[in-house]
Structure 1
Amino acid sequence: MKIGMLVLRLVVGLLFFGHGMQKLAGWFGGGGIEGTAQGFEGMGLKPGRDNAVAAGLSEAGGGALLAAGLATPLAATMITGAMGSAVFHVHKANGPWVTKGGWEYNAVLTAAALAVAAEGPGDLSLDHALGTERSGAGVALAALGAGLAGSAGVAARARALA
């Protein structure tokens, strides 16, 4: 299980890091803050720049933390919040299947982050090395609740500014 959890954390975490850096710095063909801000404004997420920075930091920061196995509950919270917002603002109306632009991929990534929070990041993690590992069903549920609360806050702000 040591290697399995490491592989899961690295793959999901590094992909999230890259996705966040697309928003923040334009890496990997992303739009950077300005391009992402324009896209967010078009979806009604105003102010676009604030939301672009928040989404980019949640994805890049949450991904980096998950990959390192550091502050794992916070990583799961950040990833859950980012994916909750993506589902609500982009994918919800399309149903579950990714082939139709749906939310299944977001759900899988969220489940992976929450599974790491529930089971712990493993022996090959900074949380383990530092003695700061916290895990369990309660930790995962708290990360889920906090992430969705953050996502709901983004949605409420967007409605208020519409």
Structure 2
Amino acid sequence: MLSGVDDTDDASRSGDLGLLVLRLALGAIMGAHGLQHLFGLFGGPGIGGFARALETFGYHKQTTLLSWVTGITEVGGSVLVIAGLFTWLGAAGLLGVAVNIVFAKFHGGFFQGSGQGFEFELLLGVVALALLFTGAGRIALDRNTPWRRRPFPFAVGGVLLAAAASVVVLTLTR
């Protein structure tokens, strides 16, 4: 960024490795949930079971469609985040899902001990938000893209996209 500054020093490499770890963890966790929701893998409920579960969280309209949209967003966003390809778009999708889950579980309290807490989903959302603003790092397919060199405008766009999607989902399905 600054002329004469070498961005290949140890701190920069360490930061890129840290971003890769965050991307892999977020993508693996959210992707596994998406596979549970879509296909019933890993002991998940599949589309029908997930639609019924959504009803217990206050979603009463279009729950099957919402199940598909949520599962596809979780899997697709996770693939993008893991690969570091269109990371801002994948992170925005995962942020939107996390916001809706936090909203749905908010009445259950913060801590997971009750089975209804939202602390875990909040953490996933914060990681997605952080990746929006930092970008994927240099260990990514996004390495030579405008959104890696100037992540802030794309981050703002991603936050607005996640917020708009969350409002649409909450408005149309509750």
* Structure 2 equivalent of residue 30 of structure 1: 44
Task: Judge conservation of contact 1:40–1:46 (CA < 8 Å) in 2.
Answer: no
Q: Which has the larger radius of gyration?
A: 2
Q: How high is the sequence identity, in percent, across the aligned residues?
A: 33
Kindly indicate whether residue 124 of structure 2 is the aligned counterpart of residue 105 of structure 1: no
* Structure 1 equivalent of residue 25 of structure 2: 11
Q: CA deviation at 1:146?
A: 1.4
Kindly indicate whether residue 153 of structure 2 is the aligned counterpart of residue 151 of structure 1: no
Task: Judge conservation of contact 2:27–2:81 (CA < 8 Å) in 1.
Answer: yes
Normalized against structure 1, the TM-score is what?
0.88
Normalized against structure 2, the TM-score is what?
0.82
1:121-136 pair list within 5 angstroms: 121-128=136-143, 131-135=144-148, 136=151
Q: Which residue, out of 87, 100, 108, partners 1:94?
A: 108
Kindly indicate whether residue 78 of structure 2 is the aligned counterpart of residue 63 of structure 1: yes
Cα separation, 2, equivalents of 1:38 and 1:106: 20
Cα separation, 2, equivalents of 1:114 and 1:156: 23
Provide the alpha-carbon RMSD of the alignment: 1.6
Q: CA deviation at 1:133?
A: 5.0
Q: CA deviation at 1:40?
A: 2.0
Tell me the amino acid that sits aligned with residue 156 of structure 2. Answer: L
Tell me the amino acid that sits aligned with residue 63 of structure 1. Answer: S
* Structure 1 equivalent of residue 4 of structure 2: none
Q: CA deviation at 1:14?
A: 1.3
Q: Which residue, out of 59, 69, 84, partners 2:99?
A: 84
Q: Which residue, out of 66, 76, 84, partners 1:51?
A: 66
The structure that is helix-richer by fraction is: 1
Cα separation, 2, equivalents of 1:140 and 1:107: 18
Q: CA deviation at 1:67?
A: 0.8
- Secondary structure in structure 2 of the residue aligned to 1:127: coil
Q: Kindly tell me: are residues 110 and 14 of structure 1, through their superposed partners in 2, closer, same or farther at Cα, counting changes over 3 Å?
A: same
Q: CA deviation at 1:116?
A: 1.4
